[in-house]
Amino acid sequence: MGKEPPYWLPQIKEFCRSRKITLMAWGLKALVVEARSPERHKELSELFEQIGFQAVPDEDDAYAGVLALSKKDSA
């Protein structure tokens, strides 16, 4: 657990705060945000796609009202 937060985390926190997105968890290459409806899930998937994250499909996450996202590798 002694790892530094990813360099992009402050920008993501501000991105979420300014759009009223609840950031629930983060990792070195992942985020979990609140997405309580299929519409919100789709909206957030598309929004985060634009900034380099992709949704990680999981029926259990959809049932729980969350959206897991993985940071795309820069090529």
Domain holding 42, by residue range, is: 29-75
Give strand pairing partners of 67: 33
In a domain? residue 21: no
Q: What is the mean pLDDT of the chain?
A: 92
Where does the pLDDT of residue 4 fall: very low under 50, low under 70, confident under 90, or very high at 90 and above?
A: confident
In a domain? residue 14: no
Where does the pLDDT of residue 74 fall: very low under 50, low under 70, confident under 90, or very high at 90 and above?
A: low
What does DSSP assign to residue 28? S
Q: How many domains does the chain contain in total?
A: 1
Q: What integer is the mean pLDDT of 53-60?
A: 93
Where does the pLDDT of residue 75 fall: very low under 50, low under 70, confident under 90, or very high at 90 and above?
A: very low
What is the distance between the alpha carbons of residues 16 and 1, in angstroms, rounded to a whole number? 24
Q: What integer is the mean pLDDT of 23-52?
A: 96
SS3 41: helix
In a domain? residue 1: no
